[in-house]
A and B are shown apart, each in its own frame.
Chain A
């Protein structure tokens, strides 16, 4: 199975991702790009129509997990140890969100990951995430 296929299978098997419509856009070594379509059910404040921060958290947590699984040295299941999300600006209502995650360092037991979320404007991030994840290394 290719890295792309494995990541797609991983995300497709997650009921919560299916409920939100999260899908894999692209996967390469230690990197994953996931999307979340705009959905009025995911709005946090009807006065603005802006997607709830919590839905952005789901997108980035999943993207970070997929990036860990796509790391050549960290194969297999992973779980979030901690995740910090910074909300830069309100996502534009009606636009899909796209999260790019990168697993930039792994030790024997821990993966370090960062992610950035955009709407249609790829020059101004909506939110960023920094997290640590559990990891099982090959042969460990």
Chain B
């Protein structure tokens, strides 16, 4: 038996959301969904390298990954309730600022990130993101970002 229409609709909405951000596709970012919980995945590619020897991920690429994870989490949260009624995707939130902590070098292997929305206001949102590679408890980067929520939606 196929999954019920709501699961299909959620999967399609998430795919549309990610498809709607060209830069996320450029970096090769994917999302793994478990119910409403999202994990961002950055599969390793040579083009992500910032330090050739020893090879390490570019700090900017790491920042971009964290920012994309935060943005999609926030947009996903805005989308979740609307899916019950089948309304289209809302406009994307806009980043106000982002502070990234680099805790250890990003190794030349896949990276993962999970974002937590700590404030979800009508106008402003605050999102914390954690990124890891081999071990969920050993973060290689973390960030806090503020976003301006789209109005009139």
Interface size range on B against A: 35 or more
Query: Closest CB-CB distance, A90 to chain B, in whole Å?
Result: 8
Bound CA–CA A55/B98 (angstroms): 13
| A19 in contact with B99 given A54-B63, A55-B64 (CB within 8 Å) | no
Interface residue A139 (Cβ < 8 Å from any Cβ of B): no
Whether A61 is near chain B, meaning CB under 8 Å from some CB there, is yes
Is A61 touching B52 in the complex (CB atoms < 8 A)?
A: no
A79 in contact (CB, < 8 A): yes
* Binary CB contact string for chain A from 83 to 115 against chain B (1 if under 8 A, 0 otherwise): 111110010000000000000000000000000
- B48, chain A: closest CB distance, angstroms: 6
Q: In the assembled complex, which residues on chain A have CB atoms less than 8 Å from the CB atom of B65?
A: 54
CA distance A50 to B49 in the complex (A): 25
Most buried by B among A14, A47, A51: A14
CA–CA, A17 to B59, complex, Å?
11
Asked if residues A83 and B96 are in contact (CB atoms below 8 Å), the reply is no
Does B102 contact A15, Cβ atoms closer than 8 Å?
no
User: Which of the residues B20, B49, B98 comes within 8 Å of A84, measured between beta carbons?
Assistant: B98
CB of A41 within 8 A of CB of B23, answer: yes
Residues of A within 8 Å of B, CB-based: how many?
Answer: 38
Which one of A54, A61, A81 has the highest number of Cβ atoms from chain B below 10 Å of its Cβ? A54
| B64 to chain A: closest residue by CB | A54
In whole angstroms, what is the CA distance A120 to B67 when docked?
25
* B63 pairs with A83, CB closer than 8 A: yes
Chain A residues lying within 8 Å of B64, measured Cβ to Cβ, are 52-55, 57-58
A16 — nearest CB in chain B belongs to which residue? B58
Q: Is the CB of B59 within 8 A of A80?
A: yes
- For the complex, what is the distance from the CA of A87 to the CA of B63, rounded to whole Å? 14
CA–CA, A87 and B27, complex, Å: 21
- Interface residue ranges of B48-63 to A (CB < 8 Å): 48-52, 58-61, 63
A83/B100 contact (C-beta < 8 A), A14-B49, A53-B67 known: yes
Task: With CB as the reference atom, state the residue of chain A lying closest to B91.
Answer: A47
Instruction: Please give me the residue from chain B that is nearest to A49 by CB atom.
Output: B22
Within 8 A of B (CB), among A44-80: 44-47, 51-55, 57-62, 65, 77, 79-80
Binding site for A on B (CB under 8 A): 20-23, 25-27, 46-52, 58-61, 63-65, 67-68, 71, 91-92, 94-102, 105
Which residues of A are in contact with B by a Cβ distance under 8 Å? 13-19, 40-47, 51-55, 57-62, 65, 77, 79-87, 90
